[in-house]
Chain A
Amino acid sequence: MDANFWIIQAFNGVSYGALLFLLASGLSLIFGVMRIVNLAHGSFFLLGGYVALTVIWTTGSWLLAIPVAALVVAVVGLLMERVFLRPLGFDPLRQVLLTVGFAYLFQQAALDIWGGDNLDIVPPAVLKDSTVVGGFYFPRYRMFMIGMAVAIGLMLWLVMEKTRMGAMIRATVDDAEMARGVGIDTSRVSMFIFALGAFLAALGGVIGGAFLGVYPGLDFAILPIAFAVVIIGGMGSLTGAAVGSLIVGLADNFGKALFPEVSYFTLYAPMVLILALKPTGLFGRE
């Protein structure tokens, strides 16, 4: 185990964390604003990948596939929130089961439309090579993933900190009842956040499709990892989602490389400990 191992594994971990950030930031915001444990979030990720494939097959444009897939899935999320989740009111258990129901429906729909094969999203040739820095080979696609996550993260941060909508979201995360009291339309905030969460997850699905693949079952494979990120970072916090993604991305990579037999255990056990000791996570507020 030389320096090469550590640097490459760290780079892989960070880039995987970047992908997780796209997936988990939305999940975290949804939880923070609506207190919903959204078990359909992995489905948004998977649907993003599938819709992107359809766009690529019909137009041949990978670049076009990214926004189209994200927007289509955002609309799906928006409808799901408006038509089904909103009328349910606040009841964690029923909300969870409802999102599971949708996860199963999406799974079946994806199987009917796109079939059961393992598919791959092929990025443009420019991104397929590696760049050599100081004697190390860094795959360009992973660099692109990191860049994308940083850009999205910055944009989210600007929206949250500098806009009126962002202020309304933060207020709702802190105290939804109080926010309603001062005249914030929390129902509209919820709608926006759920659609945004679906958008981000689908974006992750398109980008992750190139190295995770797109296949039935990916939805439930990736979902618990997203929850690990959200819980470690703290629900409802963007900074938390970023730090949590990095921790989980690195823990997953080094865990698999160093202790393959207990690698998932090393991922979920810290999640349990944090929940038991500080349920609000590293960056969540009381």
Chain B
Amino acid sequence: MKDGHAPRRKLLIVGAALLAVLVITPFSGSYVIVLVTHALIFAILAMSLDILLGYTGLPSLGQAAYLGMGGYLTAILATRYQFGLDWTFWVVVALGMLIGAATAAFFGLFAIRATGVYFLMITLALGMCVWGLAYRWNSVTGGDNGIVLPPRPDFGIQLADDLTFFYVVFGFFLASLVMMTILVGSPFGRSLVGIRENELRMRILGYNTWLHKYIAFIIAGAFGGLAGVLWAHAHGLVSPEDVILATSVDALLMVVLGGPGTLVGGALGAGIVVALREYLSTLVPWWQYVLGGVYVLTILYLPGGLMSIPERVRRWRAQSRGAGVEKSLESASH
């Protein structure tokens, strides 16, 4: 409040951080490039979930379903019809977002009515439906083995090169971040926050809260589908592992770890979780203790996520600086 430049400063910090990722990554080892690419893809998934969890207050336990839909669509088109391996890659991107949105539109019919714990459970069940099909519907999904993709698309720009692919994924990430930032700042986004804070009041004010939540659900599904298309090409393999419960739960952790309702927090959380899962696991056999520990410690000690740390530090400093003033104010207000 006292600092009118806060939004601009935040923008500068986020911009600088993204620029650093963009500039430093190409000069890192080839393994780091792959790792950052994966993190960026999961960042898109985490941000899509943040629209639901952070802005609308809907904790979905099935976000991996849309990742899976986008991924399987990409893999099936590529292996069966050789579609999406040249410029048609862009068509597949659009189709991936469309199938994510369509799946969410269908799932939303069941899920949106539920609230709180029931929403958690129904999204869990919906996610398991997708997993069940991926795991068992051998003739379409390849069952347990999944589908191995051909080399990445080539449309003048060769995505097979990991660095080139990194730039493209970075572009998608940036575009998603910008679009979602505009979305949550729009009147529609503000009413989502209103629903999160007090749905009944919003309904009394005349908002169709069901429709608002439904549309947010569909948008989140679309970005989840986009993440799926990119993930299929990044990983080169789509399998039921991508849609297991743990993937959905990890997406939730990314958002909560970074800070719900901040978008970039989800991206930060994605970076950390991917680093733990894919990098630390190659270094030490006990990496899961770290992952589990991060879950437990975040929940216990950092309910606002990493993005809330600067605010906490500021408050703590203000408190220790003006402890006397605070105290007298506090006693006056009581």
* Most interface-central of B117, B121, B125, B298 (chain A CB within 10 A): B125
Which of A37, A93, A268: most chain B CB closer than 10 A?
A: A93
A42 nearest in chain B by CB position: B245
Which chain B residues (33-77) contact chain A, with CB distance < 8 Å?
Answer: 53, 59, 61
Stretch at the interface among A11-19, A149-157, A161-169, A256-264: A256-264
> How many residues on A have C-beta within 8 angstroms of the other chain's C-beta atoms?
44
CA distance A271 to B110 in the complex (A): 11
Q: A107–B293 contact, CB under 8 A?
A: no
Q: Which residue of A lies closest to B250 (CB)?
A: A100
- Rounded to whole angstroms, the CA-CA distance of A37 and B125 in the bound complex is 13
Q: How many whole Å from B288's CB to the nearest CB in chain A? A: 4
B residues in contact with A103, CB < 8 Å? 292
B193 interface hit (Cβ, 8 Å): no
Tell me, rounded to whole Å, the shortest Cβ–Cβ distance linking B260 to chain A: 9
List residues of chain B with CB within 8 A of the CB of A92. 59, 116-117, 120
- Inter-chain contact A261/B110, CB cutoff 8 Å: no
Q: In the bound complex, do residue B296 and residue A102 qualify as a contact, i.e. CB atoms below 8 Å apart?
A: yes
A263/B124 in contact, CB under 8 A: no
Contact B132 A262 (CB under 8 A): yes
Main secondary structure of the interface of B (DSSP, over half): helix
Flag if A84 contacts B300 (CB, 8 Å): yes
Q: Is the CB of A108 within 8 A of B129?
A: no
Instruction: Decide: A97 and B256 in contact? CB cutoff 8 A.
Output: yes
What CA separation (Å) do A84 and B299 show in the bound complex? 10
A268 in contact with B125 given A97-B252, A98-B295, A108-B292 (CB within 8 Å): yes
Return the chain B residue nearest A94 by Cβ: B299
Contacts of A224 in B (CB 8 A): 124, 128, 245
- Confirm or deny: A62 has a beta carbon within 8 angstroms of a beta carbon on chain B: no
- A231 touches which of B125, B135, B139, B303 (Cβ 8 Å): B125
Of the residues B121, B126, B289, contact of A37 by C-beta under 8 Å: B121
Contact A272 B129 (CB under 8 A): yes
**B125 in contact with A101 (CB, 8 Å):** no
**Closest Cβ neighbor of A35 among chain B residues:** B117
Known A100-B295, A102-B292; further 18 A-B contacts with Cβ < 8 A: A37-B120, A37-B121, A88-B299, A94-B303, A96-B120, A97-B253, A97-B295, A98-B299, A100-B249, A101-B295, A105-B288, A227-B125, A262-B133, A263-B136, A265-B129, A268-B125, A271-B125, A276-B111
Chain A residues with a Cβ under 8 A of chain B: 31, 35, 37, 39, 84, 87-88, 92-94, 96-98, 100-105, 107-108, 111-112, 220, 223-224, 227-228, 231, 260-265, 267-269, 271-273, 275-276, 279
